[in-house]
Structure 1
Amino acid sequence: MSKRTHARRGTTRPIRLLGDPVLRTECDPVRTFDTALERLVDDMFATMYEEDGAGVAANQVGVGLRVFVYDCEDDKGRRHVGHVVNPRLVATGGELLVEPEGCLSVPGMRFDTPRHAYAAVEGVDVKGRPARVEGTGYFARCLQHECGHLDGGLYIDVLSGDVRREAMRAIRDLRR
């Protein structure tokens, strides 16, 4: 489905920002596969495109369900567009890459974040059919990032050392 199709079908929702408890709460599994779930996925795509993001997790739009959408390229320049319901990060591997990463829920900030060069996610689609998504490079980073959201985490949680201290200072200064 194209970017325009999702944007046309979906309605943008406000992105929840750091400090909102929904971002720090583990999301519940989806148990009902219906038009409301399809509408949520369309809304998440519309929101992601409106905010110029590479992915959005359901809790970022205030819904505590295990769903995320994505539209990003891998390290070979191949574009990946889709969604996963009830995703599980089942594999990571390869080199640990430390590259700048940001988040729509922590706007305006980017920090060097360690992520594996490969990731695989298993779950289902909006119809309940099995889905497996795997990728490398930036796409692998996106898969790890979105799965982290659904577990109640943010990318700043994987930072350490001086980078973590810098991020915490920047967030503290932003809240003043």
Structure 2
Amino acid sequence: MAVLPILIAPHPSLKRRAEPVQEVDDEIRQLTDDMLETMYDAPGVGLAAPQVDVAKRVIVIDCADDGEAPQPYRMINPELLWTSQDQDTREEGCLSLPDIYADVTRAAACKVAYLDQRGEHHELEAEGLLAVCIQHEIDHLNGVLFVDHLSALKRNMLMRKLAKQQAGKKPNKKASVGA
């Protein structure tokens, strides 16, 4: 397994729609393992393949609380089947927008269909943090960042803050800044 470099907004790869995985093979299984290691190292609770510059519809999530055993999900070609009418507003952050946080309103619950690392079909109903993470990571597969759910004023303010933070940092092997 390997820790992969995480792209930092506004890298153009983060705004591209990811392509479906045609076959769950050893390369995809290795990608999910590397993505989990990268996510745990960061640390985070979710990571989408576009964040590591892979334009495939692959996400990993682990919302286990500190002290709990890991509960990783490897979701290949995830698709939201439904989202609840009930809404939930939570503070979100993102590994591609380090140290940037904002309240985002999303569906409080959802149902997702996906393939696992063996290529087997699953459906999962989720609520709370897991539902938020699933929606957040699927957004990445569609070229959407959590700040895109905010007003233009708030989004621009946060992106300027990120640019200022990144300009003051020394180059980091784990992160790459886009053009």
2:2 match: secondary structure: coil
Alignment check: 8 A CA contact 2:100 2:162 kept: no
The normalised TM-score by structure 1 is 0.85
Alpha-carbon deviation of 1:27? 0.3
Mark the CA change 1:146 to 1:174 in structure 2 (over 3 Å): closer, same or farther: closer
**Which residue in 1 is equivalent to 2:86?**
95
**Which residue in 1 is equivalent to 2:9?**
18
Alignment of 1:100-119 (within 5 A): 100-119=91-110
Mark the CA change 1:59 to 1:29 in structure 2 (over 3 Å): closer, same or farther: same
The percentage of aligned residue pairs carrying the same residue is 36
- Amino acid in the other structure paired with 2:42: E
**Which residue in 2 is equivalent to 1:42?**
33
Q: Residue deviations 1:55-85, cap 9 Å, x none?
A: 10011111000000000059xx997421110
2:99 match: secondary structure: strand
Alpha-carbon separation, structure 2, partners of 1:132 and 1:105: 27
1:53 match: secondary structure: coil
Q: Residue deviations 1:98-150, cap 9 Å, x none?
A: 11100001110100100111011102112221021221111110010011000
What stretches of structure 1 move > 3 A for 4+ residues in a row?
77-80
Alpha-carbon separation, structure 1, partners of 2:69 and 2:88: 19
Alignment of 1:1-176 (within 5 A): 10-73=1-64, 80-160=71-151, 164-176=152-164
The normalised TM-score by structure 2 is 0.84
CA RMSD, 1 decimal: 1.9
Gaps of 5+ in 1: 1-9
- Amino acid in the other structure paired with 1:39: Q
Alpha-carbon separation, structure 2, partners of 1:79 and 1:38: 18
Mark the CA change 1:78 to 1:133 in structure 2 (over 3 Å): closer, same or farther: farther
Alignment check: 8 A CA contact 2:148 2:155 kept: no
Higher relative contact order (CA 8 A, sep 6+): 2
Alpha-carbon deviation of 1:94? 4.5
Worse-matched range after superposition: 130-139 or 103-112:
130-139
2:154 match: secondary structure: helix
Corresponding pairs, count: 162
Alpha-carbon separation, structure 2, partners of 1:170 and 1:101: 13
